[in-house]
Amino acid sequence: MHEPMTDLTNILATLVASDGKIQIPGIYDMVPSITTEEAELYKKLTYDICMFNDSIKGSNEIFEDPIQLLQARWRCHSLSIHGMQGAFSEPGFKVAR
């Protein structure tokens, strides 16, 4: 017998690669290619990755280039899991007898 929450966790773990790329086939086909004009706008921005790391109270392990970080946050798809509930949490036995 499989444990549904364990199965779900395993599936969710495959959705995003360690480099931040979403693994859902075709999802990036929905993102328009960056135009020359848009690329130039990013080059004009000044953004400090250290300030970003301070704001998240950690270190962003994926992006070292500020332009890549901003594009990932502003124009590219992202995938976030905002919560899961599945365990029986009421008083009493947790398994069938």
Tens-binned pLDDT, residue by residue, of the chain (97 aa): 578 888 999 999 999 998 888 999 999 998 889 999 999 999 998 888 888 878 877 777 777 788 888 888 888 888 888 888 776 677 777 665 5
Q: What was the pLDDT predicted at 23?
A: 95
Sequence-distant (6+) residues with CB within 8 A of 8 are 84, 86
CA dihedral 60, 62, 63, 68 (to 10 degrees): -120
Q: What was the pLDDT predicted at 5?
A: 85
Q: Facing residues of 16 across strands?
A: 22
Q: What was the pLDDT predicted at 37?
A: 95
